[in-house]
Amino acid sequence: MRLRDRFGALLLDLDGTLYRGPEVIPGAPEALSAAGAQQLVYVTNNASRSAAAVSAHLREIGYSAVEDEVVTSAQAAAHLLAARLEPGATVLVVGTDDLAAEVNAVGLEPIRRFNGVSPAAVVQGHSPETAWPDLAEAAYALRGGALWVAANTDATLPNERGLAPGNGSMVAALRTASDREPIVAGKPYAPLLEDALVRAGTRDALVVGDRLDTDIDGAHCVGLESLMVLTGVSTLADLRTRPTRLPTYIAESLAALNHPIADTAPVTPGDGDIAEVIAALLAEHPGRAIAISAPPAAED
């Protein structure tokens, strides 16, 4: 049985898993296009683009994605705001116009500046155009008692040149300026993945991604199995610092979804240098995933 056939849905990360910056990861579209009965849900922590824009980009680079299969942290952030605010409440947006559109879609009023009465909330998502005046306006609102929702707290964002500052780096600036902590919608926290599970229509799902601190920790947060691919940010060496919260499986690439799991005993902490052990197993079983840990239980 192929790894993918064990699950009713695949919850797929984008940056570092399907593409890096403008470049598609070689072999990834072909791996996902292989026949399978799974529901594919594209789950992105990046709040800068709408689901329609994300799906259009995926199609341009070779993936067969439609808008309803995309779940963004902007949508999850908007849902968090709508659950906590009165209809029509004002929300100061630090991010793109697509993030503002998600706020508007849930019946709230997005604004960019305010005079006098502080907005009810601040929502913050990645935008390469965010500047000091935007952060200052948000700091004034937070000091005035506004609710703070961050789409995600990814410190970095992978692109073709390396790792650029992510939304988490901007969140850190506001955290320092306001002495506040945001509610976080994106991975590794539950809201985004719970939205994805609703979209998939099943909890029989595998989280697939490249980052231990978002994708894999997010899977643990909601009690799902996970596959870490070595095409993005996290490396085998990073496993040495994590005796717990390991991925269920690890593979060189998404191609492992279409192969059985390597016929080896699961790797667990205490087997020696875990990075060296897994590297040797991946070399011995090219193209296949290595089982690392038992399926996680949902965290409290």
Catalytic residues: 13, 15
Maximum C-alpha span of the chain: 65
Query: What pairing do the DSSP bridges indicate for beta strands 183-184 and 147-150?
Result: parallel
Q: How far apart are CA 52 and CA 65, in angstroms?
A: 10
Vertex 102 angle, CA 96 and 104, to 5°: 105
Cα 295 → chain centroid: 19
Sort 300 into a burial class: Cβ within 10 Å, 0-12 / 13-18 / 19+: exposed
**DSSP label at residue 216:** I
How many C-beta neighbours within 10 Å does residue 23 have?
A: 10
Q: Provide the terminal-to-terminal Cα distance of the chain, rounded to the nearest Å.
A: 32
Q: Is 270 left (phi over 0), alpha (psi -120 to 50) or beta?
A: left
Vertex 181 angle, CA 180 and 182, to 5°: 120
Cα 30 → chain centroid: 22
Three-state DSSP at 15 gives strand
